[in-house]
């Protein structure tokens, strides 16, 4: 299993550009989520999904969209990049209900800089 994969690893954008951060997992996990990590702020939840076709907002959803058309993929779209979105983005997945205590598995992260 590849686990949770994210692409790209690094990205530089100009203000106003849009882009999609890709996340995929091959563990048949129903729950997937996107976090951003900023110095002194810890991990903050952007959006999450409990299964294909179902998404919901986390703590800091503004400026981001997600979709979940398949169990495997959970892309994060930046609609119009702003310097405040400079951050490291992590995708994570977790097994389905029935294994209630299992941990989240994290991807390697995408480091995004918005100029």
Alpha carbon separation from 73 to 55, 70, 84, 101, 111 (Å, rounded) = 12, 6, 26, 23, 19
Q: Which residues lie across from 19 on neighbouring strands?
A: 78
The number of C-alpha atoms within 13 Å of 54 and in the hemisphere containing its C-beta is 7
Hunting for tokens 């563990």 — which residue is that?
27
Q: Which is nearer to other proteins, 36 or 78 (CB)?
A: 36
**From candidates 48, 76, 87, 112, binder to other proteins by CB under 8 A:** 48
**From candidates 23, 109, 112, 114, binder to other proteins by CB under 8 A:** 109
Mask for 57-76, x = binds other proteins (CB under 8 A):
-x------------------
User: Which residues contact other proteins (rule: CB under 8 A)?
Assistant: 31, 33, 40-43, 45, 48, 50, 58, 90, 94, 97, 100-109
């Amino acid at each position: 299993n590849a686990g949770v994969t994210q692409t790209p690893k690094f990205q530089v954008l100009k203000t106003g550009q849009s882009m999609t951060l890709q996340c995929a997992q091959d563990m048949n996990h129903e729950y997937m989520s996107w976090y951003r990590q900023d110095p002194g702020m810890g991990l903050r939840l952007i959006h999450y999904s409990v299964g294909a076709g179902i998404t919901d907002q986390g703590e800091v959803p503004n400026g981001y969209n997600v979709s979940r058309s398949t169990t495997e993929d959970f892309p994060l779209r930046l609609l119009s990049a702003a310097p405040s979105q400079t951050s490291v983005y992590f995708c994570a997945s977790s097994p389905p209900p029935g294994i209630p205590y299992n941990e989240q598995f994290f991807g390697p992260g995408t480091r995004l800089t918005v100029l």
